[in-house]
Structure 1
Amino acid sequence: MVQRILVIDGSPAGDNACGTAACVASTDGQLQVVACMQEAGKQAAEGVSLLAAKVLQQAGWSRAQGTAPDLVVVVVGPGSFTGLRASCAAAAGYAVGVGCPVVGVTRAEALAPELDAALAAQPEPMAGWLVVTAARRGRVFVEGRQGVQAATIADWSAPKGTWLVAGESRAELAFPSAVLCPLTHPDVMQITAAALRRVSGALPARAALPVYVDPPEAKLPANGLRAAPV
C-alpha cells in the first residue's frame, strides 16, 4: 500500500522554468502535502534533486528510520530538455536508493480530471481539450489525449472544431473557435493523483523517462568534433 510519495517536477520551460519537490502522504485514500518546496529559474529545475533532499528532511522521511517513500513520481513532460533530464534522473536515483517504484506522468495526464470537468460544464459540445505550454522561443508544446507535439506559433494550423485550451501558453496559438481555460500547470496533488491512477491501472503504464518532443538545442561544432586522442 502506497503511503508516502515523493513528487519531483522540473518540467516547466522558458520564463516559467522552476523546480518543485514535495512529500505527499496517502491515508485511507486521502492525500496530504507533508512538505513542499519550489524554486524559480532554470538552475532550480536542473537542481531539483537538492529540493527533493530538503523536503525529505522536512518530512522526516528516510530509509534509516523506516519511513522512506513507497513511490516516486516525476513529471516527464513536455517541457525543458534539461529540466526533464535532471528531474527524471533524480527520481530514478531516489527510487533505486530506497527500493521503491518510480512512475512518470505528463502535464495533461495530471490535469485531465479537471479539464474533463471543465469540458462537461460547457453549454455546447466541444471537440476536446488541449494543453499548450512553453517550449523554445517561437514554439509551444501542444498536448491532448492522443499525445504531444511541438508547434511553431507562426505556422500553427488549428484542428477543426471548438476546443477548450489550457496551459500557460494557451493565448499564443490562434484558434477559429476556442474557450480559454485558466488551468496552467498541475499542482502537487494533481500530479500525485495521476500517479496513483497509473499505479492502480486506471492509466496505461508509462516509464519515468523524459517525453522529448524537440531535439536538444546543442549543436555540433561547424568543423565537426575533434579527432580522438592518439
Structure 2
Amino acid sequence: MVQRILVLDGSPAGESACGTAACVVQNNGHLRVLAIRQEAGKQAAEGVSLLAAEVLQQAGWSLAQGNAPELVAVVVGPGSFTGLRASCAAAAGYAVGVGCPVVGVTRAEALAPELDAALAAAGADLSGWLVVTAARRGRVFVEDPQGARAINIADWVAPQGKWLVAGEARSVLAFPSAVSCALTHPDVEQVAAAALQRLRGELPERCALPLYVDPPEAKLPANGLRAAPI
C-alpha cells in the first residue's frame, strides 16, 4: 500500500495563481498532511519544485534515508499554462529520480466525491455539476464528469436544467436555475485521494501531462520557417 505521497499543484490562474506542494501520508485508508507549503503568485506556481524541496525537507523524506515518496500526484488542469508545465515537469522529474509512479488528476476529478455527495443531498431535481475556473481573455474553463472546455463568457449559453455550480469563477456564468456550491479548488488530501483512485484503476487512465484546453497560441510565420543555416 502506498503510504507517502508528494502532491504538487501549480494550476490556479489569474488572481488565484499560486503554487502548492505537500507531503501526505496514507494510513489505513486515512490521509493526513505531514507538511505543506503554499505561496501566492505566478512566480510561486512556476517555482513549485522549490516548494516541493521545502516540504520534503520538513517531512524528512528522501531517497538517501529510504523513505522517499511512493507516489507523486500532480494537478494537470485546467488552469495556468505556465503553472501546469512547471508542476507537471517537476512531478515527472522527481518521480523518475526516486523511481515511483506519477499520477495526474484534474480539478474536477479531485472534487468529484464531494460534488457527487452534494448532488445526492440536493435531491433529484438537479441535472448534474459543473466546476467553473478562471481563464484569460474573457473566458472560463468549465469541467464536468465528461471533460473540460474553454468558454467565452460573452457566448455562454447555459445548459438546460438546474445545475450544481462550483469553482472560483462560478458567479461569472449566468444560469436560469442553479445551486451555488462553495467548493472552489481541491485541497491536497482530495488530490491525493483521486491519485490513489487512478493508481488502483478506479479512474480512467490519464497521463501526468498538462491538460491544455485551448489550442496552442504559437503560429508559424506567414512565409514559413527560415531556411536552415549553411
TM-score normalised by L of structure 1: 0.95
State how many pairs are aligned: 230
Q: Partner residue of 2:27?
A: 27
The CA distance in 1 between the partners of 2:219 and 2:164, in whole Å, is 36
The CA distance in 2 between the partners of 1:6 and 1:215, in whole Å, is 30
Contact 1:8 1:91 in 2 (8 A): yes
* 5+ residue gaps, structure 2: none
Contact 1:48 1:90 in 2 (8 A): yes
Q: Partner residue of 2:88?
A: 88
Q: CA deviation at 1:121?
A: 1.3
Q: Encode CA deviations 1:41-99: one digit per residue, 9 max, x unaligned.
A: 11111111111111101100000000100000000000011111111000000000000
Q: Partner residue of 2:162?
A: 162
- DSSP-derived class of the 2:5 partner: strand
When structure 1 is superposed on structure 2, of 123-132 and 39-48 the one drifting more is 123-132
| 1:102 is the counterpart of 2:93 | no
Q: CA deviation at 1:176?
A: 1.3
| 1:199 is the counterpart of 2:199 | yes
Q: Partner residue of 2:68?
A: 68
- DSSP-derived class of the 1:121 partner: helix
Q: Partner residue of 1:174?
A: 174
The CA distance in 1 between the partners of 2:3 and 2:47, in whole Å, is 26
The CA distance in 2 between the partners of 1:225 and 1:163, in whole Å, is 48
The CA distance in 1 between the partners of 2:130 and 2:81, in whole Å, is 21
The CA distance in 2 between the partners of 1:137 and 1:37, in whole Å, is 30
The CA distance in 2 between the partners of 1:142 and 1:154, in whole Å, is 14
The CA distance in 2 between the partners of 1:223 and 1:71, in whole Å, is 47
Contact 1:81 1:216 in 2 (8 A): no
Q: Partner residue of 1:59?
A: 59
Q: Partner residue of 2:138?
A: 138
Contact 1:128 1:163 in 2 (8 A): yes
Q: Partner residue of 2:2?
A: 2
The CA distance in 2 between the partners of 1:28 and 1:115, in whole Å, is 24
The CA distance in 2 between the partners of 1:168 and 1:62, in whole Å, is 35
Identity of aligned residues (%): 79
Q: Partner residue of 1:213?
A: 213
Equivalent positions of 1:115-154 (< 5 A) are 115-154=115-154
- DSSP-derived class of the 1:171 partner: helix
Q: Encode CA deviations 1:126-172: one digit per residue, 9 max, x unaligned.
A: 11000000111200000001101000000011111100000000000
- DSSP-derived class of the 2:125 partner: coil
TM-score normalised by L of structure 2: 0.95
